[in-house]
Amino acid sequence: DLCAEMVISGAGTDPAALQVPWDTKVAAVLREATLTRPTDPYQATGGRTGMHTEHLGYMLAEMQWMQRTYPDMEW
């Protein structure tokens, strides 16, 4: 597993170690936005192995257009 190898080599962070800080931040943002967190705990998986939905294609096309139109832009 690539993630495990990266953690062992010191080049990456264990995704499980990020879960609590991520949950804490998301909860704070949702609370500030007066939104309720969905009760369904589903989180999409597969992105690290290249499995994406068709929605990524539209976002990627938009980002590529921006880079090609404004080649030296900074975020």
Q: How many domains does the structure of the chain reveal?
A: 1
72 with 65: CB under 8 angstroms?
A: no
Closest CA to 26 of 14, 36, 17: 36
Average pLDDT, the chain: 91
In a domain, 43, yes or no: no
What average pLDDT does range 21-41 have in this prediction? Answer: 95
What band does 50 get if pLDDT is binned at 50, 70 and 90?
Answer: confident
**Domain span at 14:** 2-38+48-69
Q: Is residue 7's pLDDT more than 80?
A: yes
How much is the pTM?
0.56
- Overall residue count recorded for the chain in this entry: 75
pLDDT at 1: 80
In a domain, 74, yes or no: no
Q: Is residue 24's pLDDT more than 80?
A: yes
